[in-house]
Structure 1
Amino acid sequence: MVFIRDTELVLRAAVELVNTLPHTEVSGVDTLTRRADLEAFVTAHGYTGSRTRDEDELARVRGIRSRLLELWRVDRDGAVPLVNAMLADGRTLPQLVRHDGMDWHIHASDPDEPLAMRILVETALAFVDVIRADEYARVRVCDADDCEGVYVDFSKNGSKRYCDAGNCGNRMNVIAYRRRKAETTA
């Protein structure tokens, strides 16, 4: 295990949220445009606390995606001021909590804060663990030629090269296979 369970869960949620941006997915389509999209995301990732479920909440969550994406565009040292700013913006107040079948873990914002701020702070806190563990090399952008999707490499040996947003690994393997096949038949 590279990271503790709650850190990994938050990192996976951040990856999914960032990959809803239109420029990160192979299809080039923004996949977080409706309140139902946000509801599915929140449900899938178990975010707790207050919710308004309105257009403003959707807009705020959509608004933090670019800020989170910046964490994939910098190195470990460059991430520190970004993470610190996110924590400061959220007036971070780390507390141990237990809920929904999860054992003790840290929430760093008030449950009444807006959803976007809670997501931002929880992600920043997860990146604190990445930075402290000196595992920032696992924070990556997809190696596929036509994708800028992001991911965190949770593999044991740190060898993952492609995101999960657009079936990139399979696509690139097929392209490489066809290229090799064409070279041998030419």
Structure 2
Amino acid sequence: MVFTHDTAVALIGAAAWVNTDADTEEIPDVAALDAFVTTWGWTGSRTHDETELLAVQGLRPRLRQLWLLDKDGVVALVNELLTEFRALPQLVRHDEWDYHLHATPSSAPLADRMAVEAAMAMVDVVRADELSRLRVCENFDCESVLVDLSRNRSKRYCDLVCTNRAAARAYRSRGAAAEV
């Protein structure tokens, strides 16, 4: 295992949030945010209002930068997020989870908790020198980010749709080359 379970979950959850498309706004309202939060198992208090929605939507471009910056840039952004949201790591146990780190109280705003959880996960990524496991999908028409947790670092596409598109393009390309 490359990362602890809570780090892997935090990275995948952050990638999922980053991949909610801001251009078509896949999380346009509080109900959609509620569904996302439920799907990804975010815990803690919620206000279920437009202010919370806008704060979480505003977090998306900052988190995307974690996949795009070099190591020094990632470190600067992680430190900025941890300072801004007053992270104070504590061991906690809840639901089906055994002890793991939370760096904000469960009463903190959702956007704060999301930002700090992503930042704390990135601390593990940087310390393990594993930034290469965070990348942008290699499908030419996709800008989604991914977390490669495979043993051989072979994940190239964000999901099965992009994987299948790439395979189909390669197949067509081989067929066209064979006809020449």
Indicate the TM-score class for this superposition, using the shorter chain for normalisation: over 0.9
Unaligned runs of 5+ in 1: 24-28
Is it true that 1:169 corresponds to 2:163 in the alignment?
yes
Partners of 1:39 and 1:154 in 2: CA distance:
27
Q: Which runs of 4+ in 1 moved over 4 A?
A: none
SS in 2 for 1:151: strand
Cα separation, 1, equivalents of 2:161 and 2:126: 28
CA apart distance, 1:22: 3.6
| 1:153 is aligned to 2:148 | yes
TM-score by length of 2: 0.96
Match of 2:79, SS?
Answer: helix
Give 1:15's aligned residue: 15
Matched to 1:3, the amino acid is F
Q: Does 1:130 pair with 2:125?
A: yes
- Conservation of the 8 A alpha-carbon contact between 1:144 and 1:172: yes
RMSD: 1.2
Partner amino acid for 1:102?
A: W
TM-score by length of 1: 0.93
Return the match for 2:41 from 37, 40, 46.
46
Answering whether residue 5 of structure 2 is matched by residue 2 of structure 1, we say: no
Partners of 1:98 and 1:44 in 2: how far apart? 20
Matches of 1:15 and 1:6, distance apart in 2 = 14
Gaps in structure 2 of 5+ consecutive residues: none
- Distance in 2 (CA, whole Å) between partners of 1:9 and 1:103 is 14
Report sequence identity in percent: 53
Counterpart for residue 93 of structure 1 = 88
CA offsets 1:96-133 (integer angstroms, 9 cap, x no match) = 00001101000000211110011000110000000001
